[in-house]
Chain A
Amino acid sequence: MTAHQAAGDKPGPVRRLTGAAGVSLAAADPAAPVRGSRGRHAGPAASPPGAAAQRAAVASRMRRGLAACRTYPLATTGGTIVVAMAAFCFLGPLVYHTDQIHVFLSQANLAPRSGHPLGTDGDGTDELGRLMTGGQVSLELAAAAGVLAAVLGSLWGAVAGYLGGAADAVMMRIVDAGIAIPAVILLLLLTSIYQPSTAMLVLVIAGTSWLSTARLVRAEALTLRMREYVQAAVVMGGGSMRIILRHIAPNAIGTIVVNVTFQIANAILILATLSWLGMGVQFPGVDWGDMIASATQTISDGYWWEILAPGAAITLVVVAFAMLGDGLRDAFSAVGYDAVPATAAEADRPVRGPGGR
């Protein structure tokens, strides 16, 4: 176990993506050690041609998948936790039925007991069931906001990095200015202007988070545009848009995919913070941040389960996404979250969004 962990841990300080070949090699690598086994099974046992060969192919694919998982334990653990939490939130209510609509004041603030494994909150709602309902909102919104932010930031960064010159300078100063204003203040302004509906929350969170992705992808695009295949595309008369979408963006995909996981982790934190401040998901909707917000009101009464349960849920999911991102970055060996910044301008936003300080 430790040996594998060491292997997965290795490319920590690697800082530059090695381009197209580097990405695909790194992605295919884990499969390499066991690839040979496919031939052994497919060969002599080929007499009943259909089923057996198919089974062998499936088995070999599974073995390769397992090998990949063992090479990158960090990503595997993170990914497993993410899937498990999603299953808990979305499939859990099918098994564990609770009433999340009515208020039962006689049942309010009960400590964990049989019937209420995680106790009840101030409205007498079952905490475990609330964790599932709230988690659905948290995960859905965060995933949407994280992906949107990564897409926006990637396009902005790729365009700026590819065009260079004055366009790059203007575009990146806009990013600098956006990053200079602490995200939580931007969010406060935006949420106090617009009614925080679900769609608006996604837009607002993505609207403040895409900046760091833009910096990351721009740095990537700066090196990519000097590559021969991009130069060749230019010489052959490819338009800027085509080159950005067909050559630059796909080759920065390692960086972008890693960034998506960190953006989702960040979006979970931002959403929870906004809801905790009362500017996130609005009543009667509920998310994990809301649950902690109402528990904070009664903190001096010592209802520990009302803080620990949603707090643990948020922490677990964020850590899982961070592990997944770190693991994937190791796999892609792309520029990532804890790469050392060469200069201030290249550095990612140093401390995470509003949750940070």
Chain B
Amino acid sequence: MTAYLARRALQAVAVVLLVTLIVFGLIRLAPGGVTTAVLGSGSAHQQFLAQYLTWLGRVLSGNLGRSARLNESVGALLAASLPRTLVLTGVSTVIALLVAVPVGLLQAVRRSSAVDHVLRGLTYLCYGMPPFVLGSVLILYLAVDWHFFGAEGPQAAGVGGVIADPRDLTLPVLTLALVTIATFARYMRSSALDSLGQEYVQAARARGGGERRVIVSHVLRNSLVPVVTLIGLSLPQIVGGALVVEILFNFQGMGWQIWQAAVNHDVPVTLGFTLVIGVAAAVGSLLADIGYAILDPRVRISRP
């Protein structure tokens, strides 16, 4: 178990390094020699490696660079936009879980019933509808026509500013939650179907457990394991923000910042933000595997 986790942790480090290399390489391909302007040129022969190592050295000492466009350090920008994004994605992920777990479970228990078909249709719809379409439709009716909510996300600075403005926060959260529900419910349904067919469920029924008890303490508990994995794997999206939703609702979070940086060729910001998201992805995938090993003893035993 320890050896397995140690190996996974090493892999995670390798992945993070590769992420930085890919992003750095891509940005260096960009026209205009921006990287050279920011990082200086090493010897002509080893330019790429020298620049990469210079940047990596600075990052490791905690300096993510400085945006010349905004005249602010990347760290400060991160500190400003990460909490805002976490409120948006955190709230919508929690809502999505609260809806998707019961929905998926219900679909699995009432499999192939009218309820299952209707819910399946709805999850298909949320899966197929791009967030900018869903968000636009919500704005069109709930904000423009009926004035229930604001058409823009909260504009006040900081976490306090976001939370203090539920009227404007509702539509971005709703858009994101609906999109997430579609994925989570699909996983939950197929995971619960998987559990329902297991022998421990039969055994619980044979022991005379009531249907409610069997579903809640056997099927539900075991079906949640893959969902935990899914949450771990969603970590980069939770940290990286919902780029499309943030742009649509003009919500200054991580996704919005990274989009502005990419469009304006703001290299330090793009690199810094992508690095943070890459680290989140590596950590999330590691956490997912650890969580899985903790929750499911079979994984622990069978793994070398």
Contacts and interface: CB of A to CB of B under 8 A. Distances in A.
B292 A319 contact: no
A6 B117 CA distance: 10
Interface residues on A, range: 35 or more
A233 B274 CA distance: 45
B155 interface: no
Contact of A350 (B125, B183, B265, B286): B183
Contacts of B285: 176, 180, 344-345
Contacts of A342: 299
Interface residues of B, number: 80
Given A13-B190, A13-B197, A181-B274, A173 B18 contact: yes
B130 A269 contact: yes
Contacts of B139: 299
B82 interface: no
A273 B289 contact: no
B1 to A, nearest CB: 14
Interface in A26-57: none
Contact of B262 (A6, A188, A299): A188
Contacts of A188: 258-259, 262-263
A350 B187 CA distance: 9
Nearest to A182: B240
Interface in B169-203: 176, 179-180, 183, 186-187, 189-191, 193-194, 197
Interface string B254-272: 0000110011010000100
Contacts of A347: 229-230, 233, 288
B11 interface: yes
Interface in A180-199: 180-182, 184-186, 188-190, 192-193
Secondary structure of the A contact surface, majority rule: helix
Contact of B193 (A12, A178, A356): A12
A177 B265 contact: no
A193 B30 contact: yes
Interface in A299-345: 299-300, 302, 304, 307-308, 310-311, 314-319, 322-323, 337-345
Interface of B: 11, 14-16, 18-19, 21-23, 26-27, 29-31, 89, 111-112, 117, 124-125, 127-133, 136-137, 139-140, 144-145, 151, 176, 179-180, 183, 186-187, 189-191, 193-194, 197, 226, 229-230, 232-234, 236-237, 240-245, 247-248, 258-259, 262-263, 265, 270, 274, 277-278, 281-282, 284-286, 288-289, 292, 299
Given A181-B23, A344-B229, A357-B179, 14 more contacts: A177-B19, A185-B240, A185-B274, A188-B263, A189-B30, A273-B130, A292-B136, A299-B144, A311-B133, A315-B128, A338-B187, A347-B233, A357-B237, A357-B242
